[in-house]
Amino acid sequence: MELYVTSHDSLTGEIIERPMNDVEIAQYEIDQATYLSEMAEAEAKATAKAALLDRLGITADEAKLLLS
């Protein structure tokens, strides 16, 4: 799969699409890994929160009410 960069020249209206260079591909891969890691972390936190609320026998709204 080849990755592309699209840019728009606002002066000429020209739209340029070109393949990513090695530096851009490396940054893309870092960004993708970071995103996947953050999504996994957020999912784990949501699962832990749901488990805690279940153990306490309260809803998220009730927990907010208690903490306000």
Residue 24: Cβ within 10 Å count: 14
Q: What is the pLDDT of residue 51?
A: 96
Whole-number pLDDT of residue 1: 83
Mean pLDDT for each 10-residue chunk of the chain (68 residues)? 94 96 97 98 97 95 92
Structural domain span for residue 36: 4-67
Q: How many domains does the chain have?
A: 1
Which residue stretches of 1-68 are H helix?
Answer: 22-56, 60-67
CB 26 within 8 A of CB 11: no
